[in-house]
Chain A
């Protein structure tokens, strides 16, 4: 029952910009563990996708280039290192090439852009090359997810998308880049389903 409410809410906003608080959150415990695990599997497919994981890298602070157009994954060209600042302040600022713009439509191979300042995700949010179990443990750990419970994770996605940030860009990346799987609305809904199921994690 609750799941259908969530889906209806998500469908009602599909096609328009995702509004903050647009999703009616399910009651905690109303989603089965199996449905929560299935939702996490879809979340995992999104966060390890190149549109998301390429800038969720570890403490070497080097963004990655990976995805269908690259063949093998490789470090970002041009010797790029975003530094501990994660915005390139120590070397070349990300914004030297990555423009802040609400217009995601860039040419293939041009520097992609979105509506907030381009930067790496905080180092605690490392996803690139990480396993299901590792990413699941990170996503539900407030020490490593920006201090968020599951409802705040949903709010975070909606808020970033409302700013035309990377969460919105991941599904409309411009150029000939492959978008993240499924839709932004389904991803937000999956975060809610996983949360309401108690954020179950796979054994591995």
Chain B
């Protein structure tokens, strides 16, 4: 079957039941999205499908409808997405394992809500767990990215 990831079309020979995360990591060698729980409880595997945040660990690739964006396609080292730049500025990551999912979820949040309140950030980001507890920095970075995007 065919799927488009970060603007590139790929042909993969997999069972339709295979979760998108497996296809990305094991078939296409795109390792940004992480495996955490496999049942949409932690958010580490979050990618975008046509701009919407999706937990790729439990999306059967046969049910995929739309183009996939992973953290590799969100920005580039030369031109970071505003959320990535804010993550660097606020040194959000500690161990970093969940951060790909956090950033993808935060970018999707700002797409739907350009100026979220603390409460709205908490409501949207509570599906993305961070065992290092970087939540205060995540919140600050999202506010910062929202500000930068509004000025752009």
Contact = CB atoms under 8 A, between A and B. Distances in A.
Interface of A: 78-81, 89-93, 95-97, 99-101, 103, 106-107, 109-111
A129 B54 CA distance: 31
Contact of A78 (B38, B59, B126): B126
B70 to A, nearest CB: 15
Given A78-B127, A100-B65, A109-B41, 16 more contacts: A80-B127, A89-B112, A91-B120, A92-B53, A95-B54, A96-B52, A96-B54, A96-B55, A96-B127, A97-B40, A99-B60, A99-B63, A103-B17, A107-B38, A109-B39, A111-B39
Given A78-B126, A81-B123, A91-B124, A100 B54 contact: no
A79 B53 contact: no
29 contacts: A79-B126, A80-B123, A80-B127, A81-B123, A89-B112, A90-B113, A91-B123, A91-B124, A92-B53, A92-B123, A92-B124, A92-B127, A93-B52, A93-B53, A96-B52, A96-B53, A96-B127, A97-B40, A97-B58, A97-B127, A99-B58, A99-B59, A99-B60, A99-B63, A100-B63, A109-B39, A109-B41, A111-B40, A111-B55
Nearest to B53: A96
A79 B122 CA distance: 8
Given A78-B126, A95-B52, A96-B53, A110 B112 contact: no
Nearest to B55: A97
Contacts of A107: 38-39, 58
Interface centre among B38, B46, B63, B124, by most chain A C-beta atoms within 10 angstroms, is: B124
B52 to A, nearest CB: 6
Question: Taking chain B's interface residues, is the majority helix, strand, or loop, or is none over half, making it mixed?
Answer: mixed
A90 B112 CA distance: 8
Contact of A111 (B58, B60, B112, B122): B58
Nearest to A79: B126
Interface string B36-55: 00111100001000001111
Interface centre among A89, A96, A110, by most chain B C-beta atoms within 10 angstroms, is: A96
A38 to B, nearest CB: 40
B114 to A, nearest CB: 13
The 5 closest A-B pairs by CB, nearest first: A79-B126, A110-B39, A97-B40, A78-B127, A91-B123
Interface centre among B40, B41, B52, B60, by most chain A C-beta atoms within 10 angstroms, is: B40
B124 A110 contact: no
